[in-house]
Amino acid sequence: MKKIMVLFLFIMCLSMHCHAFELDSNRWTWVQSDDKIGVFYDSVNIEYSDQRYAGVWVCIYSAVQDEYYLNYTLFDKYDNFSKIYKAIIYDSNGDYICGIIYNDPEKIPLVDGSEMSFVKNRVFANEVE
């Protein structure tokens, strides 16, 4: 029963975000882009907790692969790391390619000036107390 429930929740998450890469300007905020990638974050569905953490959907468009990478990322306001809990890949037609859930993700260092560092800074700059 537990496996069925986990599978159901995973499918619900996928269906909720399957068209997220269409980048509705009311939902997605541009971070930066160049001729190879574009980076956006979902500014409507940020989940803040304990006045320290923020769970954010980040969309990275790769012009080279012509694919969209959606990552549910947890940022720590006081630590220069992130953790990716979910990763989903779609092609340019919006067709699902693959996805994965990380139960115990590793900390990923944020490099100053990187796209993910910019996302973190914007997310916490817009935090509503």
Domain boundaries, the chain: 2-125
Chain segment 27-66, per-residue pLDDT in tens: 999 998 889 999 999 999 999 999 899 999 999 999 899 9
Asked whether the CA dihedral 11, 37, 54, 100 is positive or negative, the reply is positive
With a threshold of 0.85, does the pTM exceed it? no
Query: Residue 95 above 50 pLDDT?
Result: yes
| pLDDT tens figures, 64-85 | 999 999 999 999 999 999 999 9
List b or e across 80-116, with b for residues whose CB sees 16 or more CB atoms inside 10 angstroms: eebbbebbbbbeeeeeeeeeeeeeebeeeebeeeebb
